[in-house]
């Protein structure tokens, strides 16, 4: 009983504190954004109503996954609390025991002040409002300058398939020539449109955005034109060529109605010309390669030329082994006469002559005789 009385007193004091202080919400334009690292963190907090600290147990727990922030906050007096909201969104409740209750909620910005409401039926207004500010100073993060980030635009990506679509034209009379609805074939983001006209014998051609469409005559009256477009949602500038008309063609705007084609919206960057990055550093050299395999053997060489014939000298000749075996004519043979050298079959240079004739003296005498004969003839 005493415990319940104390809780009622706390609630009354809480109501008085809130009415005295009021609630302030402030927002500021930001040019930088903190991107917190993924993980689970126990963080500090602040409240603008001091009495709320008597209900909050411990510190909030923040779980961060791919930029999504999930906060868990624990209160005592579970039997007195009927609910808890953050930024007008109900938090998920989990009773831990008779006294403790846990509330889990998501926030878009950990650094923004959160408008919280705790529902207590015993209070005069059934709930109390307060501002909850989480202290993420101990959470690792990266700062991104939003002014340098490309703007994001959403783009429709239509599902592959064949679809019959509606259309509108800015020249009403063209509806008298168009038969049925256009057919759109979509494959990997490529759009091919087929449209059918009557009065085939009157039509010489059809262009879309100044590109000739492919013609296929179906019968004497119907003709089919097929063409590609880059954007199904953009109005198309069409020209139909009819020689009987004053200007040989009629120009009109054709707009396809794609509302029945399933699609997915994706974000794309509004970038113009990409700025090339700096060249990276040279990489390290690779490891030495393995030794190559042995090459194939070379071809056999050509046969050598035949050696010169060697004739045996009968008089004072020098044998191939360079020794004289006639024993200086003393009538006795050397021992080498009984042994033939059959292994030396390589031709050998002719040896120098061993003749000791006075060649130089004979030349002098010959020259001198010639001069004497010349003088006799000249002075006769």
**Which residues neighbour 139 within 8 Å (Cβ) at sequence distance 6 or greater?**
36, 37, 39, 41, 43, 62, 64, 110
Tell me how crowded residue 164 is: count the other CB atoms within 10 A of its CB.
Answer: 11
- 0.75 exceeded by the pTM? no
How far apart CA 329 and CA 312 sit, in angstroms, is 18
Q: What is the pLDDT of residue 51?
A: 84
Q: What is the pLDDT of residue 102?
A: 97
C-beta of residue 69 within 8 angstroms of C-beta of residue 43:
no
Tell me how crowded residue 320 is: count the other CB atoms within 10 A of its CB.
Answer: 14
Q: What is the pLDDT of residue 319?
A: 45
Q: What is the pLDDT of residue 122?
A: 79
Tell me how crowded residue 341 is: count the other CB atoms within 10 A of its CB.
Answer: 10
C-beta of residue 26 within 8 angstroms of C-beta of residue 69:
no
**Could you tell me which residues are beta bridge partners of residue 153?**
268
How far apart CA 67 and CA 60 sit, in angstroms, is 18
- Residue boundaries of the structural domains of the chain: 26-146, 157-267
Q: Apex CA 189: angle with CA 183 and CA 192, to 5°?
A: 30
Indicate the class that CATH gives domain 26-146: mainly beta
- Residues lower than pLDDT 70 in the chain: 1-31, 146-152, 268-358, 377-380
| Residue with token string 């990489």 | 283
User: In the numeric block, which tokens belong to residue 297?
Assistant: 């053997």
Fold match, 26-146 / 157-267 = yes
C-beta of residue 227 within 8 angstroms of C-beta of residue 244:
no
Q: What is the pLDDT of residue 190?
A: 95
How far apart CA 321 and CA 313 sit, in angstroms, is 14
* Phi and psi torsions of 316, nearest 5°: 45, 35
| Three-state secondary structure string covering the chain | CHHHHHHHHHHHHHHHHHHHHCCCCCCCCCCEEEEECCEEEECEEEECCHHHHHCEEEEEEEEEECCEEEEEEEECCHHHCCEEEECCEECEEEECCCCCEEEEEEECCCCCCEEEEEECCCCCCCEEEEEEEEECCCCCEEEEEHHHCCCEEEEEEECCEEEECEEEECCHHHHHCEEEEEEEEEECCEEEEEEEECCHHHCCEEEECCEECEEEECCCCCEEEEEEECCCCCCEEEEEECCCCCCCEEEEEEEEECCCCCEEEEEEECCCCCCCCCCCCCCCCCCCCCCCCCCCCCCCCCCCCCCCCCCCCCCCCCCCCCCCCCHHHCCCCCHHHHCCCCCCCCCCCCCCCCCCCCHHHHHHHHHHHHHHHHHHHHCC
Q: What is the pLDDT of residue 351?
A: 54
**Which residues neighbour 4 within 8 Å (Cβ) at sequence distance 6 or greater?**
none
CATH number (3.30.70.141, 3.40.50.2300, 2.20.28.10, 2.60.40.1850) of 157-267 reads 2.60.40.1850
């Amino acid at each position: 009983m005493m415990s319940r009385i104390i809780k009622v007193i706390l609630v009354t004091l809480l109501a008085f504190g809130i009415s005295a202080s009021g609630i302030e919400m402030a927002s500021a334009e930001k040019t930088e954004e903190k991107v917190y690292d993924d993980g689970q963190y126990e963080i500090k907090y602040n409240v603008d109503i001091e009495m709320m600290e008597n209900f909050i147990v411990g510190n909030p727990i923040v779980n961060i996954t791919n930029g999504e922030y999930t906060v868990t906050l624990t209160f005592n007096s579970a039997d007195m609390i009927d609910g808890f909201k953050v930024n007008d969104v109900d938090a998920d409740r989990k009773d831990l025991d008779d006294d403790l209750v846990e509330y889990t909620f998501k926030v878009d910005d950990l650094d923004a002040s959160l408008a919280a409401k705790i529902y207590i039926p015993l209070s005069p207004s059934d709930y109390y409002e307060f501002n909850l500010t989480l202290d993420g100073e101990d959470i690792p993060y990266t700062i991104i300058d939003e002014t340098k980030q490309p703007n994001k635009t959403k783009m429709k990506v239509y599902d592959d398939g064949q679809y019959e679509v509606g259309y509108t034209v800015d020249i009403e009379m063209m509806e008298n020539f168009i038969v049925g609805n256009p057919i759109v074939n979509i494959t990997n983001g490529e759009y091919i449109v087929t449209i059918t006209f009557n009065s085939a014998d009157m039509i010489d051609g059809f262009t879309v955005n100044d590109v000739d469409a492919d013609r296929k005559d179906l019968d004497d009256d119907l003709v089919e034109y097929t063409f590609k477009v880059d954007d199904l949602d953009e109005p198309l500038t069409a020209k139909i060529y009819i020689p009987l008309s004053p200007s040989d063609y009629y120009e009109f705007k054709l707009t396809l109605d794609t509302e029945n084609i399933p699609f997915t919206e994706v974000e794309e960057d509004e970038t113009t010309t990409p700025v090339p990055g700096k060249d990276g550093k040279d990489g390290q050299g690779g490891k030495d390669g393995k030794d190559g395999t042995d090459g194939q053997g070379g071809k056999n060489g050509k046969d050598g030329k035949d050696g010169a014939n060697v004739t045996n000298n009968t008089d004072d000749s020098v044998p191939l082994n360079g020794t004289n075996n006639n024993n200086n004519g003393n009538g006795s043979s050397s021992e080498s006469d009984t042994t033939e050298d059959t292994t030396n079959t390589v031709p050998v240079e002719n040896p120098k002559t061993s003749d000791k004739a006075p060649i130089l003296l004979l030349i002098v005498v010959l020259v001198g005789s010639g001069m004497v004969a010349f003088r006799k003839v000249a002075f006769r």
